[in-house]
């Protein structure tokens, strides 16, 4: 635990880079001023993060989801781009659950050409995630993949689906034979469901009468909209999974691009909503499914691994356009690969 004298971004970035990439030690930073006036809620929030970083779990569902009766890996992915018109690299992350409660994740990160929405090394990152699942589950491979993909516009749906489903299939073909010894079929090929998660949209929902509202005047957590304003032919829905605290709550739009697991609308909506209670940094349900929430956090934290974080700003010279990406970053220590170091 590191007590910082102030909220100093450069100091924070340097400490995280050294701890994550050189020492391989999980860290928790707190600001002295906040620590001085802290209350029980502050201590609880810090403890939630520390417990996850040390390998503990904070949230679990009282009833097992039917999906997890068979080994299932929940995957989240995101690509974060530099600000403005900077030509520096984008950061891609892939996170994957490694237990049957879908509340412990491992993360893979990579830097790639700026402004590129596809994940260049998705095949390798996904294969590493399968290996982590295999190790964590006593040599058991996932039989189902539920893949939540963030940050994709509607015009990119078909291309992202084609590229990333193909990358998954190639990764399955690369799974070593000893890994697939417990699979009955000769060729390892789990079923895949791919869902795009959209947060940036203009849809907002309001209760028709005051008695239907929660304390903040919003629709209650768990509200689903799946007709009228959704796509006339494709499988999509809006889910407002969080309880409103202040202002108007924003629902999340889920668009199912590929479904080999043959979900019914009700089963996938319930699965997604119940998993929103499994974000380890919160004691309430969150607004997006945790796999995507974690992928966002990993991308944000990976900025600290840049050797020159200022090069990620709009005013930078654009060195990332031509530079070897390995020259711009430090690599995560192997000691942290099985931990939730980004929490």
Task: Give CA torsion, residues 108, 113, 117, 122, to 10 deg.
Answer: -30
Structure tokens at 138: 């006593």
**pLDDT given for residue 245 in this prediction:** 76
Question: Which of the residue ranges 105-119, 169-183, 212-226, 270-284 would you say has the lowest mean pLDDT?
Answer: 169-183
Summarised one tens digit per residue, pLDDT across range 289-334 is 999 999 999 999 998 998 765 555 444 444 444 456 666 678 999 9
Say how far apart CA 93 and CA 77 lie, in whole Å: 6
CB 293, CB 272: distance < 8 Å? no
Structure tokens at 118: 């596809």
**pLDDT given for residue 30 in this prediction:** 95
**pLDDT given for residue 190 in this prediction:** 96
CB 88, CB 320: distance < 8 Å? yes
- Strand, helix or coil at 170? helix
Kindly state the average pLDDT of the residues 244-258: 87
**pLDDT given for residue 316 in this prediction:** 44
Under DSSP, the state recorded for 194 is: E
Structure tokens at 242: 């969080």
Summarised one tens digit per residue, pLDDT across range 122-168 is 999 999 999 999 999 988 999 999 999 997 888 889 999 999 999 99
* Mean residue pLDDT across the chain: 88
**pLDDT given for residue 325 in this prediction:** 65
pTM of the model: 0.90
CA neighbor of 77 nearest in space, from 251, 298, 281, 331: 298
pLDDT at 87 over 80: no
Q: What separation, in Å, do the N-terminal and C-terminal C-alpha atoms of the chain show?
A: 13
Kindly state the average pLDDT of the residues 156-182: 87
**pLDDT given for residue 314 in this prediction:** 44
Long-range contacts of 154-157 (CB under 8 A, 24+ apart): 154/255, 156/117, 157/196, 157/255, 157/257
The share of the chain scoring above pLDDT 90, in percent, equals 60
Checking DSSP bridges between strand 144-150 and strand 72-80, what pairing results, if any? parallel
Domains defined along the chain, listed by start: 2-336 (3.30.420.10)
pLDDT at 16 over 60: yes
Task: Output the CA–CA distances (angstroms, integers) from residue 328 to 84, 85, 317, 321, 331, in the order listed.
Answer: 19, 18, 13, 11, 10
């Amino acid at each position: 635990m590191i007590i910082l004298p102030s909220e100093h971004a450069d100091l924070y970035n340097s400490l995280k880079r050294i701890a994550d990439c050189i020492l391989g030690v999980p860290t928790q930073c707190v600001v002295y001023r906040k620590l001085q006036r802290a209350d029980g809620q502050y201590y609880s929030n810090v403890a939630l993060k520390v417990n996850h970083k040390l390998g503990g779990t904070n949230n679990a569902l009282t009833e097992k989801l039917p999906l997890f009766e068979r080994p299932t890996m929940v995957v989240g992915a995101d690509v974060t781009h530099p600000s403005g018109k900077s030509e520096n690299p984008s950061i891609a992350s892939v996170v994957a659950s490694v237990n049957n409660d879908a509340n412990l994740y491992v993360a893979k990160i990579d830097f790639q050409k700026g402004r590129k929405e596809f994940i260049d090394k998705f095949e390798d990152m996904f294969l590493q995630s399968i290996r982590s699942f295999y190790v964590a589950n006593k040599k058991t491979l996932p039989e189902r993949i539920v893949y939540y993909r963030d940050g994709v516009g509607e015009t990119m749906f078909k291309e992202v689906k084609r590229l990333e489903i193909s990358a998954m299939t190639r990764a399955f073909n690369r799974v070593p034979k000893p890994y697939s010894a417990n699979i009955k079929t000769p060729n390892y090929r789990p079923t895949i469901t791919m869902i795009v998660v959209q947060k940036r949209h203009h849809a907002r929902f309001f209760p028709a009468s005051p008695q239907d509202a929660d304390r903040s005047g919003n629709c209650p957590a768990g509200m689903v909209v799946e007709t009228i304003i959704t796509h006339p032919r494709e499988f999509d829905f809006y889910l407002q999974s969080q309880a409103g605290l202040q202002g108007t709550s924003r629902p999340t739009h889920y668009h199912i691009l590929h479904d080999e697991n043959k979900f019914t609308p009700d089963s996938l909506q319930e699965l997604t909503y119940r998993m929103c209670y499994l974000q380890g940094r919160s004691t309430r349900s969150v607004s997006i499914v945790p796999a995507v929430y974690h992928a966002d956090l990993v991308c944000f934290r990976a900025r600290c691994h840049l050797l020159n974080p200022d090069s990620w700003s709009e005013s930078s010279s654009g060195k990332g356009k031509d530079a070897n990406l390995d020259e711009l970053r430090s690599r995560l220590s192997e000691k942290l690969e099985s931990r939730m170091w980004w929490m």
